A and B are shown apart, each in its own frame.
Chain A
Amino acid sequence: MREEERRSRKRPKPEEHMAATQTNGRPFWSGTISFGLVSIPVNLFAATRDSRVALRTLGPDGEPLKRDYYSPETGRDLEEAETVRGYQTGGKVVTVTDEELERLAPEKSRDINLRVFVGREEISPLYFEKGYILTPADKSGKAYRLLAEIMELSQRVGIATFVMHGKEYLVAILASGGILRAETMRFSDEVRKASNIGLPKRKRPPSTAVEKFHTAIERLSKNTLDLDEMRDKYAERLLKFIQKKRAKHRGIAVGNETPRKGPGEVVDLMEVLKRNLNQGRKSKTE
């Protein structure tokens, strides 16, 4: 099993479809944002959630199952403390600890140092990977607000690289409505060039064809996205199907209520963010 799969599994799956996301209420990363010699303690939370309907894995009689890690030699169950992170190279296996990964880049693991402020529209959406929301930490409310305000006024976004959970990210820090957001981006060597793929060079198209396409585009032109069209239709069909089955009392399995392994606290991501954004409010001193 790959290590990142395990990491993602360790984070519990959403219990209630769409309504809640289990995050344990803890930030995904904590550190500072800095520009010049100004340093702002922040917490980072995901700004996206999974839309998939969370189906549980059940046994033949509908009894809930749990995932179990075991040793291939002895067949014995393994606790998390009995496992390590490993890397295979030239027939050898090397182990690496969290602390070593952090000490390989002590500054970048803790600080997002904004090296340059660029125009928002200069960044091609090709680079964007995942959005996060930053909340003030350690009474950093004022410095947080200052950076958000300056970036919004100047219509600039800050660019940095930083290390999060053993990987370096190129990141854009943006401000909107007084809230700081982080968008992780791909490095340029992770993005292919059209020439490397072997796409043909442009040939001058007939102008009548260009005109036809242009007219078709104009005809379909709107000012905004249609959110209805952006919905996960499969998830909706599946949920509807489940409700129908439930109403007809078909395929229902009643098992013993079994507490799950690990932290089972269900936390709404929006609630977590609201609470964390509010923390700056209580500390009006700095």
Chain B
Amino acid sequence: MARAIWKGILKVGALDTAVKLYAAVEDRKVHFHVLQGQTRSRVRQRMVRDTGEEVVRENIRKGYEIEPGTFVIVENEELERLKPPESRNLETTRFVPTQAIGNEWYERPYYLGPDDDDSNYFALVEALQKSQLVGIVRWVMRGKDYVGALSTEGEHLLLIKMRYAEEVLPANGLTAPSSAALEPKELRMAKELVSALEGKFEPAEFHDEYRQRVLNFVEAKAKGKHPRLPIIKERTTGASLDDQLTKSLAALKRGREKRVA
């Protein structure tokens, strides 16, 4: 059982439902520390003047560099005042088709669970599934503005925190690389190769094998062992695109297409 991290009122037009917010992802990263090479103790950090003299946290101020060397100082109280007013409301501003949201917008998922009354909650789940649309939600949580995408996962509400417009690169600003014209033969072979590798997306089939390998390695080292590691071979290139495609298809025909690393 996970603990809710926040409670709010999700509003859709004139309707609402009380919800609790839960983190949908778990951190499973292997965490390293920065150590001093000789003593192996953890390094510390501090803020210093040019002269190397330390300035303690209480005396630190923040400033925006308007031109090199010139700052507009922003006091902590001023930063506090600029924060959005606290609110418990999650406001749905519009609903859009899934395709209207590019993958690059999605940042971090949260589940919304019902708080007390669940009849409105499950009514919204069903209505959302029926409409096949995604809601755009704005809310303020712990002094920060958020924008998110409201959809369903299984029989529950899912709210994915989205990136701000400024954080996403404009898609139309870039031009595709060009090259020598593609030969019909290359296109045909590549198409054959890709269709041979077609399948369903099964997330559970992919595992982070590397995480375990790193953990085994550090544990072995801690026991004083020196595990042998493979030597990195230099990449060999050379074969033409045509050759690579022909060989891939030949390998496919020999039934060895699934070259699992």
A contact face: mostly helix, strand, loop, or mixed:
mixed
**By the criterion CB–CB under 8 Å, are B96 and A197 in contact?**
no
B residues 84-102 with Cβ under 8 Å of A? 84, 92-98, 100-101
**By the criterion CB–CB under 8 Å, are A213 and B199 in contact?**
no
**By the criterion CB–CB under 8 Å, are A202 and B44 in contact?**
no
* Chain A interface residue count, Cβ-Cβ cutoff 8 angstroms: 191
In the complex with contacts A167-B210, A200-B114, A106-B230 CB distance below 8 A: yes
Q: Show 7 A/B contacts (Cβ-Cβ < 8 Å), sorted by A.
A: A55-B74, A113-B259, A123-B201, A192-B23, A237-B82, A256-B50, A257-B68
* Minimum CB distance partner of A151 in chain B: B194
**By the criterion CB–CB under 8 Å, are B210 and A192 in contact?**
no
Chain A nearest CB from B205 CB (Å) reads 9
**By the criterion CB–CB under 8 Å, are B84 and A231 in contact?**
no
Docked Cα-Cα span, A239 to B46, in Å, equals: 27
Contact of B44 among A70, A163, A167 (CB under 8 A): A70
Interfacial chain B residues near A27, Cβ < 8 Å: none
The 10 closest A-B pairs by CB, nearest first: A178-B176, A36-B248, A280-B177, A141-B179, A216-B13, A168-B210, A213-B127, A209-B123, A257-B69, A3-B32
**By the criterion CB–CB under 8 Å, are A71 and B101 in contact?**
no
**By the criterion CB–CB under 8 Å, are B93 and A229 in contact?**
yes
**By the criterion CB–CB under 8 Å, are B32 and A86 in contact?**
yes
**By the criterion CB–CB under 8 Å, are A93 and B40 in contact?**
yes
Docked Cα-Cα span, A279 to B175, in Å, equals: 12
In the complex with contacts A1-B43, A205-B119, A220-B12, A194-B33 CB distance below 8 A: no
**By the criterion CB–CB under 8 Å, are A216 and B35 in contact?**
no
Q: Is A8 engaged at the interface, CB distance under 8 Å to the other chain?
A: no
Contact of B74 among A49, A116, A227, A238 (CB under 8 A): A238
Docked Cα-Cα span, A70 to B106, in Å, equals: 38
Interfacial chain B residues near A227, Cβ < 8 Å: 165
Q: Is B61 engaged at the interface, CB distance under 8 Å to the other chain?
A: yes
Contact of A209 among B30, B120, B207 (CB under 8 A): B120
Contact of A216 among B12, B30, B78, B169 (CB under 8 A): B12
In the complex with contacts A159-B206, A168-B211, A87-B62 CB distance below 8 A: no
* Minimum CB distance partner of B198 in chain A: A117
Q: Is B9 engaged at the interface, CB distance under 8 Å to the other chain?
A: no
**By the criterion CB–CB under 8 Å, are B34 and A118 in contact?**
no
Interfacial chain A residues near B13, Cβ < 8 Å: 216, 219-220
Interfacial chain B residues near A33, Cβ < 8 Å: none
**By the criterion CB–CB under 8 Å, are B217 and A104 in contact?**
yes
In the complex with contacts A85-B35, A159-B206, A197-B113 CB distance below 8 A: yes
**By the criterion CB–CB under 8 Å, are A58 and B73 in contact?**
yes
In the complex with contacts A51-B167, A133-B174, A153-B191, A116-B123 CB distance below 8 A: no
**By the criterion CB–CB under 8 Å, are B113 and A217 in contact?**
no
Contact of B235 among A32, A213, A251 (CB under 8 A): A32
What string of 1s and 0s marks CB contacts (under 8 Å) between A203-247 and chain B? 111100111111011111111111101111111011001100110
Docked Cα-Cα span, A216 to B222, in Å, equals: 60
Chain A nearest CB from B226 CB (Å) reads 11
**By the criterion CB–CB under 8 Å, are A253 and B63 in contact?**
yes
